[in-house]
């Protein structure tokens, strides 16, 4: 890192409309200079593996943004995977129910990829967390679906929401399951002169 980059850090652009990612960054003292959600097609390619999918999504989001000189863009993508199957955001209640039944009583993976675009390069980090759900009976599932917390969530749940009652165990990064692996993200930003802190 040069002295000039220490003196004048890049402008930090968050390429995400997720309020959860903004809250996570604030938790470790980061405040983006601007928020510019990336608009891309998030449809998986036929036969695409979950790891490849999240990496591609994070990278394409970063590369879709228009950046001025001296700006750095951080983007991320999170998906839930059961085996080779990608569980995205459910289209409706029935699909949400199908996702939850698939995960009931077993482990699944949550994959989050983070991309940082700056100075003509895009750096990528990927974090995998294992999550176990206890068996979910139909009555509990219906109550969960009625609550509505599955809407707009990859895999039909948010670990920090109502589904927390179904999750007795995780192995890996809790914040990555929420939407952004904080330790890895802080290290990526620090490498280009953007530092957080405590509040």
User: What average pLDDT is seen over the chain?
Assistant: 94
Q: According to the model, what pLDDT value does residue 8 have?
A: 86
* Cβ–Cβ < 8 Å for 127, 70: no
Q: What was the pLDDT predicted at 1?
A: 45
pLDDT at 196 over 90: no
What average pLDDT does the segment 105-133 reach? 97
Q: Are 14 and 34 within 8 A, CB to CB?
A: yes
Q: 36-82: per-residue pLDDT in tens?
A: 999 899 999 999 999 999 999 999 999 999 999 999 999 999 999 99
pLDDT band at 7 (very low <50, low <70, confident <90, very high): low
Question: Residues 34, 77, 94, 149: which is the catalytic one?
Answer: 77
pLDDT at 199: 40
Q: Reply yes or no on whether 77 is catalytic.
A: yes
The pLDDT of 115-137, averaged and rounded, is: 97
In the three-class reduction of DSSP (H, G, I as helix; E, B as strand; rest coil), residue 135 is classed as coil
Residue range 17-44: mean pLDDT, rounded: 94
């Amino acid at each position: 890192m040069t002295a000039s980059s220490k003196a004048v850090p890049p402008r930090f652009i968050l390429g995400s409309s997720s309020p959860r990612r903004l809250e996570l960054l604030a938790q470790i003292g980061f405040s983006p200079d601007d928020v510019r959600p990336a608009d891309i097609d998030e449809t998986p390619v036929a036969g695409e593996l979950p790891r490849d999918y999240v990496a591609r999504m994070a990278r394409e989001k970063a590369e879709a943004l228009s950046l001025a000189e001296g700006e750095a863009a951080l983007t991320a993508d999170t998906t839930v995977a059961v085996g080779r199957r990608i569980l995205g955001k459910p289209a409706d209640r029935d699909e949400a129910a199908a996702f939850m039944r698939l995960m009931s009583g077993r482990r699944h993976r949550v994959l989050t990829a983070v991309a940082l675009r700056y100075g003509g390069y895009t750096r990528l980090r990927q974090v995998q967390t294992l999550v176990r759900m206890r068996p979910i009976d139909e009555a509990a599932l219906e109550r969960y679906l009625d609550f509505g917390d599955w809407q707009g969530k990859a895999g039909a749940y948010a670990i920090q929401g109502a589904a927390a009652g179904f999750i007795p165990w995780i192995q890996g990064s809790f914040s990555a399951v929420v939407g952004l692996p904080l330790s890895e993200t802080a290290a990526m930003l620090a490498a280009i002169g953007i530092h957080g802190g405590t509040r």
